[in-house]
């Protein structure tokens, strides 16, 4: 494994025996004991490294800032990388248990805030919902939390048949990610992992002019088909084929300040080594309903700690589940402190606009109850 070339003040280390994992973490603000902790949880296809631009400002404000490679990612080990392996270990409540174990292993008994982006967002939400005594506030980015699954569960609509029957047949990316070939499709794609990730990150960022999101009216094939193809894919294409036409030019790559090629290489080298299956297992837990029954135990329960939501204004992710952002603000959370859409950012909001995100985080943290 190559060095991460981290900014001065951020260290990399491993912590053993975290719910069966040896967890790789990045830390800032670790020099002084007794600081309140801020825990940062990344999404897919990302790493702890995704938080590098906000860690030092948070540490400068007096916090112990910790970002792990989550189960299935990066340099954290102890998880099953096989498609036919231990899928249940990737359940949301087990990911929350990973976070709880890490907090305790670091010597904390609570955190000032748990902050999650993309798939890290529901993990952060569940941390705050089931252990509000430990996770005293929550910040979610890009993926709204609409509340626990209902009990009894509504009968699911066969959205897949409807998508396949469209004039341009389509499929939902999360169900594609749940297929056996998806990992190989990306890991062994013709353009290589580095160029695949470059096109994927570009396609979902504010740099791609096609990202002009708006709310969808319903969970129907016709409405979902308005989402970009990285969410509602052409039926017969892989994700690598989907994003390949959107590979930015060499000049655009050279001009990309939020993700220079040397920083993208951190991701591509890690994913070349580990593959994508660890992250894809999280999607399978959702699409195969692996953890639905245990999550229904919390049906009707709200998040009752202070909550902040941040997303890029050019991020379609906030609308990919119609109505979710409204349910988050008006039903699923009782202490909503703000819902901010950041100009000049798409899906990778804390990387595309780190100064604005940092300012929002610090303002939120400053106004929390002591």
Rounded to an integer, what distance in angstroms lies between the CA atom of residue 206 and that of residue 5?
Answer: 26
Predicted pLDDT at 359: 98
Give the list of residues 6+ apart from residue 277 with CB closer than 8 angstroms, or none: 72, 81, 82, 83, 183
pLDDT in tens, 73-84: 999 999 999 999
| Domains by residue range for the chain, with CATH | 11-149+292-366 (3.40.50.1820), 159-281 (no CATH)
Looking at the whole model, is its pTM more than 0.85?
yes
Helix (H, G, I), strand (E, B) or coil at 89: helix
Per-residue pLDDT of the chain (370 residues; tens, 9 = 90+): 567 889 999 999 999 999 999 999 999 999 999 999 999 999 999 999 999 999 999 999 999 999 999 999 999 999 999 999 999 999 999 999 999 999 999 999 999 999 999 999 999 999 999 999 999 999 999 999 999 999 988 877 789 999 999 999 999 999 999 999 999 999 999 999 999 999 999 999 999 999 999 999 999 999 999 999 999 999 999 999 999 999 999 999 999 999 999 999 999 999 999 999 999 999 999 999 999 999 999 999 999 999 999 999 999 999 999 999 999 999 999 999 999 999 999 999 999 999 999 999 999 999 998 7
Residue 212 sits at the vertex; the CA angle it makes with 209 and 215, to the nearest 5 degrees, is 165
Predicted pLDDT at 91: 98
């Amino acid at each position: 494994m190559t060095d991460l070339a981290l900014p001065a003040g951020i260290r990399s280390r491993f912590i053993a025996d975290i719910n069966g994992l040896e967890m790789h973490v990045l830390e800032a603000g670790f020099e002084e004991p007794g600081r309140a902790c801020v825990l940062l949880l990344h999404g897919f296809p990302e790493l702890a490294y995704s938080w590098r631009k906000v860690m030092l400002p948070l540490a400068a404000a007096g916090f112990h800032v910790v970002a792990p490679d989550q189960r299935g990612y990066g340099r954290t080990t102890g998880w099953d990388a096989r498609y036919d392996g231990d899928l249940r270990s990737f359940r949301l409540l087990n990911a929350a248990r990973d976070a709880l174990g890490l907090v305790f292993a670091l010597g904390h008994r609570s955190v000032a805030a748990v902050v999650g982006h993309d798939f890290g967002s529901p993990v952060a939400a569940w941390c705050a919902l089931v252990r509000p005594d430990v996770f005293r506030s929550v910040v979610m980015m890009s993926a709204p939390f609409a509340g626990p699954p209902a009990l009894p569960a509504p009968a699911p609509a066969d959205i897949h048949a409807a998508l396949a029957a469209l004039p341009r047949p389509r499929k939902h990316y999360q169900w594609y990610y749940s297929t056996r070939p998806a990992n190989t499709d990306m890991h062994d794609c013709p353009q290589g992992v580095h160029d695949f990730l470059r096109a994927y990150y570009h396609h979902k960022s504010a740099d791609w002019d096609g990202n002009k999101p708006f709310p969808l009216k319903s969970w129907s094939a016709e409405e979902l088909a308005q989402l970009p193809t990285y969410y509602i894919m052409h039926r017969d294409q892989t994700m690598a084929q989907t994003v390949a036409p959107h590979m930015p030019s060499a000049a655009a790559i050279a001009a990309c300040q939020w993700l220079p090629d040397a920083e993208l290489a951190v991701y591509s080298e890690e994913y070349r080594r580990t593959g994508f299956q660890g992250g894809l297992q999280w999607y399978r837990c959702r699409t195969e309903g692996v953890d639905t029954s245990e999550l229904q135990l919390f049906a009707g329960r709200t998040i009752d700690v202070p909550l902040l939501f941040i997303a890029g204004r050019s991020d379609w992710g906030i609308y990919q589940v119609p109505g979710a952002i409204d349910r988050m603000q008006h039903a699923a959370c009782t202490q909503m402190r703000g819902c901010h859409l950041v100009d000049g950012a798409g899906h990778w909001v804390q990387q595309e606009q780190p100064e604005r995100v940092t300012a929002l985080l610090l303002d939120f943290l400053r106004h929390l109850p002591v």
